[in-house]
Structure 1
Amino acid sequence: MATGLALRVSIRLRSGLSLRLLRWTPARRRPRHLVSCYSTATTATTTTAAPKLGFHLAASFSAKDRPFDPSTHVFHFESNPAPVTTRRPDSGHDAFFVSRVKGSDAVAFGVADGVGGWTDSGVDPADFSHGLCNSMAVSASTAPGPMTARKLLSDGYDAVCRDERISAGGSTACVAIASSNGLLNLANLGDSGFLQLRLNAVNAVSDPQTHAFNTPYQLSLIRSRWTSRIAALRGSVPLCDLPRDADVYHHRLRHGDVILLATDGLLDNLFHQDILRIASRVMVSSGAWTLTQSEGVRVADSIYTLVDPPRATSDEDGSRKGSATLQSLLATELVTAAKAASVNTKVDGPFAKEVKRYYPREIWHGGKVDDICVVVAVVCEQATRIQSKL
């Protein structure tokens, strides 16, 4: 744990809204519960006869003040025995990571959304969110002993608090650990979140954690030299949100499932049914899911060729122009849709709906311009894959 070098606080400093926020209330206490750029197809010996699962991952992102290019704003996580150090992606205040979990067959991945309002205090919000993700990637690949999503979040936060290069900041986070035995463990703090899609249906989702409207739970850090400045801006220092405040989820995975971890830039602009519609269109049109009269939607054998990365050379930052996998296509299609919705002033999205619920007299139409980031994992059975290649 980090010692008295810093005060850990929860501060909401979102900028760009004219809406008056509700009065801050203390956090409700919940039960304690280098980006690694490669896609994993993990295998391991298990005591059951159930097929082992592999996970094929990609990420896509778009900074709110930049145009989106799906050919370059994408990361392909390929099979690789070691993490690949990369330069910081052009994802604004949003960050992401993927890493193998040391001593196991599991893969860890997550997203973090730096709180943009810290810029008013002269702090780059990206330093905290990217530092958190880098620290979680390192911890997952090096820390001994069993690992859980909440422990990984705690390890990453402690590392950020020890890093004197990060002076202050805050972030939400959604972290997952998936194992080849089909267990998915997640920890979600704030208004980032996850969806689990299965055969044209939303199988599971996370609930956002908020203190008030547009005031999510968040990990925060203020060095002692920043305390007086923040107190002058805010009038007081609020209580802190910690990794132990994260909601913890446990789910079972199946062959053909799609797991999405996203920041609020995507979730504030696309309803869950919009996300399902886009993902289902990609899965069906690519041939990964097929429609049958007798079984309804089923997973097609062609999914194995769709998740395999084509032979190409990746750039230093993990991007690979001109090539695509099923997982990268899902990620870029979702970011494309969220980006379009964020600048659409005619069609109300989830954020506009929340504005009307909390502030009926406020006029807010369309989407919400924000940084957008999503990590997509496609689940495949390994035993079936081996047989299909014989």
Structure 2
Amino acid sequence: MAPIRLSLLVAAYPTITAALFLAFQRLRPPFLQRIIAGQHGGRLAYSTSALGLARTAKALGAVGDGGLAFGGGAAVGGPAGGAAGSGGAAGPAGTAAPGAAAAGGRGRPAEFSYAVGMACQAKRASAQRAMASLRVRGADRPNSGEDSFFYTQLGDTSAHALGVIDGVGGWCEVGVDATEFSHSLAVAMESIAPAVVGAPAAGDVASRVAASKFAFAPLVLLDTAYTMIKSSGQVEAGGSTACVGVATAGGVLQTANLGDSGYAIVRNGSLLYASQPQTHFFNAPFQLSIIPESMLAEDERQGGRHFGDEPADAVLATHTLRHGDVVMFCTDGLLDNLAPTDYLAIINKSMVAGGCWARDAGGRLGPAPDLPDRARDAVDLAAANLVDAALRASLDTKTDGPFALEAQQKMRFPYRGGKPDDITVLVLLAQQQSDGSVRVRL
């Protein structure tokens, strides 16, 4: 049980980890990467949620052969339309009903479609572990290491469900495949999303939703999928953070964010909203977990600490989107290495280069004409550029990124440079459909 005690020690006493960072700062990769991975071990958190229903198995994505892995954009449709609704975030379900988007031509509710692009890059250590897992299990998975993701159109509607999941690498210290939990959670959410979020639901999923204490779409999805993989027995142990969103045909985005993955909304070249991480302490985010009984018993004997995070602990928000809005979902591999000003500049440049945004005579950014014809390439370009920039920053040993600055402020030690990690990004572009009576204003 020595590895378990070590990981718990790192989790409970972050100052010890700070000393390790300081002592080995000059040794940089590959040795310092192992120290950083050890700090990830401090993210081992325990949950005591009740078990539930069987897992739905479904293959997700494709295995890359190194470098960046890219996913195709989701289906889009309809001509470009005008702006709809107003920005801002509301509270969780039950505190504020999501507002309807502004009418788009002839008094009808605005109809939205979405293009989704994806890029990911696994850090070296987790990529090797993920490939080893693939050889053993024979499953198809993207080249995202311990990160995972999903995005899917909901039935024959234009609504989409999507999310990013960051597996807790510290489980590797106790011989657990850290990729299994995160990828299984993504597979389950993608598989059940049309039934859980759409109406009418079918089969046993319908009864679960009816009996659920939740009514907020992304939280229903996260809670149902988490319950399914816990009860299946196919995932023996592991944990992850999760950031899940549901974008409706009416232009409403609902989100449930647990941990230090996150999302940001960009409108007309400006950062409209950025989620805030949930952490117990420095580099120890909220997370969902499956803990074997033997480990729980050993932890009790040693006087261990249980975080006990559950889907209900997620931060919930509702946003009203406008035509041309961009939403970035990402794991902390990006957020720990790129500041908001950095990723905002990349999104702006990518959307202009991809032909989805243009500048008016006053230099202001806004949706370009014929946006749907270019949307898929633009979101893929934005996602690829974001991952590439985050990867370069993570390997920079001299320029302090957000993780380094937070370590210096909160831990009082001179950590320098970026933080090597798995990086996963989804970019969603909102498009308001129109019958031609609504025009794009430039």
Task: Tell me if TM exceeds 0.5.
Answer: yes
Instruction: Decide which moves more: 221-230 or 326-335.
Output: 221-230
> Equivalences for 1:322-337 in 2 at 5 Å?
325-337=377-389
- Whether contact under 8 Å (1:63, 1:90) holds in the other structure is yes
Classify 1:230/1:132 alpha carbon distance in 2 versus 1 (closer, same or farther; 3 Å): farther
Q: Which amino acid is 2:149 matched to?
A: F
Q: What letter matches 1:327 in structure 2? A: V
Indicate the residue corresponding to 1:201 in structure 2. 270
| Pairing 1:179–2:248 present | yes
- Residues 385 and 213 from structure 1, CA distance in 2 versus in 1: closer, same or farther, beyond 3 angstroms? farther
Partners in 1 of 2:359 and 2:338 — Cα distance?
25
- Asked whether 1:224 is paired with 2:249, we answer no
1:60 pairs, out of 101, 119, 124, with 119
| Partner residue in 2 for 1:5 | none
Q: Distance in 1 between matches of 2:43 and 2:173?
A: 20
Whether 2:116 is the aligned partner of 1:94: answer no
User: What is the CA-CA distance between 1:147 and the residue it aligns to?
Assistant: 6.3
Distance 1:279 1:239, change over 3 A: closer
Q: Counterpart of 1:343?
A: 395
Q: 1:42 to 1:287 in 2, by over 3 A?
A: closer
CA offsets 1:27-70 (integer angstroms, 9 cap, x no match):
9xxxxxx3378614378xx99524311111121100011899xx
Q: Is residue 58–residue 375 contact of structure 1 (8 Å, CA) maintained in 2?
A: yes
* 1:35 matched residue in structure 2: 60
Give 1:53's aligned amino acid.
F
Q: Is the 8 A contact 2:46 2:291 kept in 1?
A: no
1:363 partnered with 2:414: yes
Structure 1 counterpart of 2:180, which letter? D
- Secondary structure of the equivalent of 1:16? helix
Aligned pair partner of 1:267 in 327, 330, 335:
335
Match of 2:176 among 104, 123, 142: 123
Residue 396 of structure 2 aligns to a residue whose secondary structure is: coil
Please tell me the root mean square deviation across aligned C-alpha atoms, in Å.
3.3
1:231-273 deviation digits (Å, cap 9, x = unpaired): 67x7514130000000001001111111111000011000111
The alignment status of 1:247 with 2:315, answered yes or no, reads yes
| Cα distance in structure 1, aligned partners of 2:111 and 2:327 | 17
Amino acid in the other structure paired with 2:74: S
Spell out, residue by residue over 1:164-188, the C-alpha distance to the aligned partner (whole angstroms, 9 max, x if none).
1101011000000001111000000
Change (3 A) 1:211 1:137: same
Q: How does 1:296-335 map to 2 (within 5 A)?
A: 296-308=364-376, 325-335=377-387
More helix by share: 2
**Unaligned 5+ runs, structure 2:** 1-9, 18-33, 48-58, 62-70, 79-100, 128-138, 207-214
Structure 2: distance between partners of 1:326 and 1:101: 22
Q: Cα distance, 1:104 vs. partner?
A: 5.3
1:158 to 223, 227, 230: 227
1:142 match: secondary structure:
helix
Counterpart in the other structure of 1:189: 258
The aligned residue for residue 358 of structure 2 is: 290
- Does structure 1 residue 114 correspond to structure 2 residue 167? yes
Percent identity between matched residues is 35
Q: For the Cα contact (< 8 Å) 1:304–1:385, is it kept in 2?
A: no
> 1:148 maps to what in 2?
217
Q: 1:220 to 1:19 in 2, by over 3 A?
A: closer
| Aligned amino acid, residue 369 of structure 1 | P
What residue identity is the alignment partner of 1:299? Answer: P
Equivalents in 2 of 1:35, 1:53: separation in Å? 26
User: Residues 22 and 223 (structure 1 numbering): CA distance in 2 closer, same or farther, change over 3 Å?
Assistant: closer
Q: Secondary structure at the match of 1:357?
A: helix
CA–CA distance in structure 1, aligned partners of residues 157 and 244 of structure 2: 17
**How many pairs align?**
335
Q: Report the equivalent of 2:85.
A: none
What is the CA–CA distance in structure 1 between the aligned matches of 2:77 and 2:227, rounded to whole Å? 28
Change in CA separation of 1:213 and 1:67 when aligned onto 2, cut-off 3 Å: closer
Shift of 1:223: 2.4
How big is the shift at 1:346?
Answer: 1.3
**What residue in structure 2 maps to residue 314 of structure 1?**
none
Cα gap change, 1:41 to 1:20, in 2 (>3 Å): closer
Distance 1:130 1:19 in 2: 22
CA distance in 2, matches of 1:295, 1:351: 34
CA distance in 2, matches of 1:368, 1:20: 11
- Offset of residue 113 of structure 1: 0.2
1:21 deviates by 11
Q: What is the Cα deviation at residue 225 of structure 1?
A: 4.0
In structure 1, what is the Cα distance between the partners aligned to 2:42 and 2:260? 17
**How far did residue 23 of structure 1 move?**
12
Cα 1:236–1:175 shift into 2, 3 Å? same
| Alignment-derived partner of residue 381 in structure 1 | 432
Partner of 2:6: none
- Which of 344, 349, 353 lines up with 2:405 in the alignment? 353
